[in-house]
Chain A
Amino acid sequence: MKRLHLLLMAALLVSACDDQLVTEPTAAIDSETALTSARGLELALNGAYRSLQFGVREFIAYPDLYADNLDFTGTFQTDREVSLRNVAPSNGAILTIWADAYNGINRANGVLAGIESVKDLGEAKGRQFRGEALFIRAWHYFYLVRWFGGVPLVLQPSKGVGEESLVARSSQEEVYNRIIQDLEEAASLLPSGKVPGKATRGAANALLAKVYLEAGRYQQARDKAAAVLADPTYSLVSNFRSLFTTKHSAESIFEVHFTQNNGNSLAFWFFPQEEGGRWGFSPTLELYNAYPAGDVRRGASINITAGKRYIYKYPRIATEDDNVIFLRLAEIYLIRAEANARLGAPDATVLADINTVRARAGAPPVTASGQAALLDAVLNERRLELAFEGHRFFDLRRHGKATSKLQMPSDRLVFPLPQAELDVNKNLTQNPGY
Chain B
Amino acid sequence: MRQFLCSLAVAAFVATGAASAHAQQRGSITGQVTASDTRQPLWGVLIEVPALSLGTMTDERGRFILPSVPYGTYTLRAVSLGYRQASAQVTVGATPASVSLVLEPDPLLLDELVVTGYGTERRANVAGAVSSLRAETVKEISATSINQVLQGRLPGLQVNQNSGTPGGAATIRVRGSSSISGGNDPLWVIDGVPLNQGNFSRLGVAFGGQSIDAISDLNASEIESIEVLKDASAAAIFGSRASNGVILITTKRGMAQRTDMSFGAYYGTQNFWRVVKLLNAQQYMEVYNEGCQARYGPGNCVIDYSPNSWIPSAPGADTDWVDAVTRPAAVGNMDLSIRGGMERVRYFISGSSLVQEGVIAAQGYRRLNGRINLDYDPLDRLSLGTSVALTRSVYDRARSDNNIYSPWANALANPPIQPIYNEDGSWFETLYANPVGMMKEAEAQERGIRILGNVFAAYTFAEGIVGRVSVGLDNLTLRSRSFDSPNFGPWSGQGGAADAASSFVNKLTYEARVNFDRSLRAGHTLSGVVGTSFEDNTDEGMRVQGQQFPTEYFKYIVSAATISAGTSNRTDWNLLSYFGRLSYTFQDRLTTTFNIRRDGSSRFGEDNRYGTFPSASVLWRVSEEEFMRGVPILSNLALRASYGFTGNQQDLGNFASRGLFAGGANYFDEPGIAPSQLANPNLRWEKTRQTNLGVDFSVLSNRLAFNVDYYLKKTEDLLVARPVPRTTGYTSIWDNVGAMENKGFEVAATARIFVPARQGDFSWTSTLNVSHNENKVTKLYNGQPIGTTFRVEEGKPLRFFFGYVTDGIFQSYEEIAAHARQVVHSDPRRATAPGDIRFKDLNGDGVINANDRTMIGSPWPDYEGGWTNNLAFRNFDLYSFIQYSLGAEIYNGFRVYADQYGSFGDNHTTRALKRWTPQNRNTKEPRAIWGDPNQNTRVSDRFIEDGSYVRLKNIVLGYTLPSSVAGKLGFRSARMYVQGQNVFTHTKYSGWDPEVNAAGTSSTTFGWDFYTLPQLRTFTVGFNVGF
Q: What is the interface of chain A, defined by CB distance below 8 A to chain B?
A: 3-4, 6-7, 9-11, 13-23, 25-32, 34-35, 40, 43-51, 53, 72, 75, 77, 80, 83-84, 86, 88-90, 95, 98-99, 102-107, 109-110, 152, 154, 157-158, 160-161, 165-167, 196-197, 257, 259-263, 267-268, 271, 273-278, 306-307, 317-320, 407-409, 416, 418-421, 423-426, 433-434
Contact = CB atoms under 8 A, between A and B. Distances in A.
B2 A77 contact: no
A325 B40 CA distance: 91
A34 B676 CA distance: 11
B728 interface: yes
17 contacts: A3-B17, A3-B20, A4-B461, A16-B5, A21-B601, A46-B672, A49-B672, A50-B666, A86-B935, A89-B849, A98-B726, A99-B731, A165-B728, A261-B565, A262-B666, A307-B312, A409-B825
A197 B670 CA distance: 12
A122 to B, nearest CB: 19
A68 to B, nearest CB: 12
Count chain A CB atoms within 10 A of each CB in B510, B658, B661, B786 and give the residue with the most: B661
A196 B667 CA distance: 12
B668 A161 contact: no
Interface stretch (B170-178, B492-500, B1019-1027): B492-500
A276 B571 contact: no
A14 B666 contact: no
B409 to A, nearest CB: 10
B495 to A, nearest CB: 6
A165 B661 contact: no
B567 to A, nearest CB: 10
A19 B670 CA distance: 36
B532 to A, nearest CB: 5
Contacts of B785: 423
Interface stretch (B7-15, B319-327, B616-624): B7-15
B704 to A, nearest CB: 47
Nearest to A71: B931
Contact of B849 (A48, A320, A407, A434): A434
B600 interface: yes
B850 interface: yes
B572 A23 contact: yes
B931 A75 contact: no
A191 B571 CA distance: 42
B694 to A, nearest CB: 34
Q: Which 6 A-B pairs have the closest CB atoms?
A: A276-B493, A106-B729, A46-B672, A13-B9, A47-B674, A47-B665
Contacts of B660: 25, 28-31
Interface in B1-55: 2-3, 5-6, 8-10, 12-13, 16-17, 20
A306 to B, nearest CB: 6
B165 to A, nearest CB: 21
Given A32-B659, A107-B674, A275-B489, 15 more contacts: A4-B514, A6-B13, A11-B9, A30-B660, A83-B931, A84-B931, A90-B788, A103-B674, A106-B728, A161-B725, A262-B667, A273-B433, A276-B493, A318-B495, A424-B723
A6 B666 contact: no
B727 A425 contact: yes
A20 B824 contact: no
B662 interface: yes
B12 A10 contact: yes
Contacts of B662: 27-28
B609 interface: yes
B602 interface: yes
Interface string B705-726: 0000000000000000001111
Interface in B554-611: 562, 564-565, 569-574, 576, 578, 600-602, 609
Contacts of B826: 407-408
Contacts of B743: none
B362 to A, nearest CB: 19
A259 B668 CA distance: 7
Contacts of B678: 158, 160-161
Contacts of A14: 6, 9-10, 510, 512, 532-534, 576
Contacts of A51: 674
Size class of the B contact interface (CB-based, 8 Å)? 35 or more
Count chain B CB atoms within 10 A of each CB in A19, A273, A408, A418 and give the residue with the most: A273
Given A11-B532, A276-B490, A77 B668 contact: no
Given A161-B678, A273-B490, A423 B9 contact: no
A26 B512 contact: no
Given A13-B6, A19-B2, A23-B602, A31 B659 contact: yes
A18 B609 CA distance: 10
B424 interface: no
A317 B830 CA distance: 34
A86 B659 contact: no
A27 B666 contact: no
A433 B730 CA distance: 28
Interface string B667-684: 111111111111100000
Given A102-B727, A317-B493, A47 B673 contact: yes
Contacts of A271: 493
B433 to A, nearest CB: 6
B419 interface: no
B363 interface: no
A333 B654 CA distance: 53
Given A9-B12, A17-B2, A29 B723 contact: no
Contacts of B461: 3-4
A16 B8 CA distance: 11
B784 A424 contact: yes
B90 interface: no
A16 B7 CA distance: 11
B600 A27 contact: no
Contacts of B573: 23
Contacts of B547: 318
Contacts of A99: 726, 731
A380 to B, nearest CB: 22
Contact of A25 (B536, B571, B723, B727): B571
Interface in B286-322: 312
B728 A6 contact: no
B390 interface: no
A47 B823 contact: no
Contacts of B935: 84, 86
Count chain A CB atoms within 10 A of each CB in B578, B671, B672 and give the residue with the most: B672
Contact of A7 (B3, B467, B784): B467
A80 B676 CA distance: 31
Contacts of B16: 3, 6-7, 10
B343 interface: no
Contacts of A84: 830, 931, 933, 935
Given A21-B609, A28-B676, A409 B726 contact: no
Contacts of B475: none
B557 to A, nearest CB: 14
A88 B804 CA distance: 13
Contacts of A89: 849-850
Contacts of B562: 260, 318-319
A20 B788 contact: no
Contacts of A25: 571, 654-655, 658, 660
Contacts of A27: 569, 662-664
A44 B600 contact: no
Contacts of A48: 674
B2 A16 contact: yes
B725 A88 contact: no
Given A50-B667, A419-B850, A10 B469 contact: yes
Contact of A102 (B655, B723, B726): B726
A241 B794 CA distance: 56
B675 A31 contact: yes
Contact of B574 (A16, A20, A157, A306): A20
Contacts of A274: 429, 489, 492
